[in-house]
Structure 1
Amino acid sequence: MAERLVVSLRRWALEFAGRGWPVYPLRPGAKRPDWHRKDRCPQTGRCAGGHVTPEQMSSTDPELIERAWEATPWNIALFPGPAGMLGIDCDQPKPGQTGAGDPDGWTQLQRLANERGGPLPDTFTVTTPSGGRHLLYTVPPGCLLRSTVKHIASNVDTRGWGGYLVGAGSLRPDGAYELLDDTNPAPLPGWLVQANVEHASTAISAPREQAVAAPSAYVAKALQGETDRVRREPPGRRNKVLSTAAYALGQLVGAGLLDEHQARTDLQAAVAAWGDTASLGKDHGVIETSLRAGAANPRRITPRGHRAA
């Protein structure tokens, strides 16, 4: 029985990898990755240069997957973001939590589609042991959507960059994740793209002192220039160019001129344009390490009109 389970999970992991969807092992019978959290990172081994996430280590390499699932019935984490997709997690109401008295997530998602007049096309769908369902959609080129929690609706989460779904074939003590619809992932409807975008805070804070006369124009030009350079780089020197660009933008982050999330997101979008999904984990690791190194050595820029004689 155990051997058949290992074979089944390995086949599922290889199936997803064959579709270009990066995977990573989850603990047998559970939903948690077989990896430490950031707040418990030992800063050794693969994390010697900074904490590395399962998303960064996820892979479509069949040899790695064969070895990982050789003898252990790992459940499967599937990472939609690096695969150019967004997962919609429609959950069942949970007693004592937000949305406990609301309809289930699938009902809420259908209602939202009707209210916004948008389609909800058939797509790759997996059912969960609790009676929920996971839907996978492809995102528009160049569109990077991060994961959200109860943002679209009280029982609907999304899994993009920074999140994962439990893959079909995985088992929990209360049941299995089963394939409901093997339709190829459909394009994410425009209304769902809009609904997934987190709204900016309306809070007003005190203006921050800036180091340049026109920081927004300066930073925008620097950000565009570095990411364009990464995006256009042909194979051969990509790692070096990516490291240099991330370090330069990290210096702006350290100087308080550039938002770290924006720098990371734009660099990840530039890397995604290479179309090399197998290398995304490594590339994201380069981005994190170089951003951190640059931030530790902030850019020093003298405001116009204050240059030394």
Structure 2
Amino acid sequence: MATTDRQATALALAHALSAAERGLAVLPLSRTKLPALRSPHRDGPAPGRPPCHGECGRFGHGVYDASTDPARIRELFAAAPRATGYGIACGLPPYHLIGVDLDTKAGTNAPAALRELAVRHRFTLPATVVVVTPSGGRHLWLSGPPDAVVPNSAGRLAPGIDIRGAGGYLVGPGSRTAHGTYATAPGTAHLAPAPCPPPLLRLLLPPPRTPRRALPQGAGRHGHGLVQFVLGAHEGQRNTRLFWAACRAYENGTGPALHGPLLDAALTTGLPEHEARATLTSAARLTGHHP
């Protein structure tokens, strides 16, 4: 291994140990910002068994390897001699870290979008740790309450704003990647992650699940299939799936009966209620029915 690689690994380990002293759980990363240790279960879990999150006792489970124990951290880096950076696991005590990743890709202005959200929802971003990425982006570190599980998301709040929550990690300052080095913004290195403003936290948490309405009699297997089709939608296809299912329901004469179950299914996938209702209304009108 080249001397520069050994130096990069030693420097990454030093930064990781320093972060661990602050109570942050860390894991080694490669130059690609991915976990540096390969999974011992590359062929997938054994049939009938859930995925392993480190219960096997071996390294290579991504963010589940993260630790604040100096001895374990040294073992992790010894097993990953090509690591040039480290990741900081989110969602763990004592900070229950939430990372707000403000990207700078062409066509997006994530900082402006975040400021607009702050004005619209009436919150102020507190002084907190800010990490500058090699591309000029910003990672804001916020602390969440222990009973709130913030999920990871990409672009859900606004284009260019990604969220790192439970099960995710942030690239730690001092890490070297193929595109450059991550560094703490001037004047923020001494800060602790500030509490996430409650209005922002509400935006980050998934919408509460609504009880699913039972399918009305007469909806049959076709109605059940349409509801399941909507429930299987991922972000970016929820509106399209709801519209298609609603059109089919109205064409088959079950539109009014399935309005409630389809609405519940759309809300379960995270589609805003006003948007879901508008989509159902459009489907009814397109097929010649009254909403």
If the TM-score is normalised by the length of the shorter chain, which range does it land in?
A: 0.5 to 0.7
Superposed, which structure 2 residues align to 1:24-43 within 5 Å?
A: 24-27=27-30, 29-33=31-35, 34-36=37-39, 40-41=43-44, 43=46
CA 1:49–1:108 in structure 2 vs 1: closer, same or farther (change >3 Å)? closer
Aligned residue among 108, 123, 127 for 1:102: 108
Q: Could you tell me the TM-score, scaled by structure 2's length?
A: 0.60
If you compute each CA radius of gyration, which structure gives the higher value, 1 or 2?
Answer: 2
Matched, 1:21 2:31: no
Matched, 1:67 2:75: yes
Matched, 1:199 2:207: yes
CA 1:58–1:205 in structure 2 vs 1: closer, same or farther (change >3 Å)? same
Tell me what 1:89 maps to. 101
Q: How many residues align?
A: 197
Q: Which residue identity lines up with residue 122 of structure 2 in the other structure?
A: G
Contact 2:84/2:176, CA 8 A, preserved across alignment: no
Deviation, structure 1 residue 93: 2.4
Structure 1: any 5+ residue segments left out of the alignment? 95-100, 209-309
Alpha carbon RMSD of aligned pairs, Å? Answer: 2.8
Tell me what 2:52 maps to. 51
Query: What secondary structure is seen at the aligned counterpart in 2 of 1:126?
Result: strand
Query: What secondary structure is seen at the aligned counterpart in 2 of 1:68?
Result: helix
Matched, 1:150 2:150: no
- Counterpart CA distance in 1 for 2:82 and 2:108 is 39
Contact 1:43/1:51, CA 8 A, preserved across alignment: no
Deviation, structure 1 residue 74: 3.7
CA 1:43–1:124 in structure 2 vs 1: closer, same or farther (change >3 Å)? farther
| Identical-pair percentage | 30
Aligned residue among 133, 139, 147 for 1:134: 139
Q: Which residue identity lines up with residue 147 of structure 1 in the other structure?
A: N
Query: What secondary structure is seen at the aligned counterpart in 2 of 1:25?
Result: strand
Larger relative contact order, structure 1 or 2 (CA cutoff 8 Å, min sep 6):
1
- Counterpart CA distance in 1 for 2:155 and 2:200 is 14
Superposed, which structure 2 residues align to 1:143-222 within 5 Å?
A: 143-180=148-185, 181-182=188-189, 183-199=191-207, 206-207=214-215
Tell me what 1:122 maps to. 127
Q: Which residue identity lines up with residue 119 of structure 1 in the other structure?
A: T
Runs of 4+ in 1 over 4 A off after TM superposition: 37-40, 200-208
Q: Could you tell me the TM-score, scaled by structure 1's length?
A: 0.57
Structure 2: any 5+ residue segments left out of the alignment? 54-60, 217-291
- Counterpart CA distance in 2 for 1:55 and 1:141 is 18
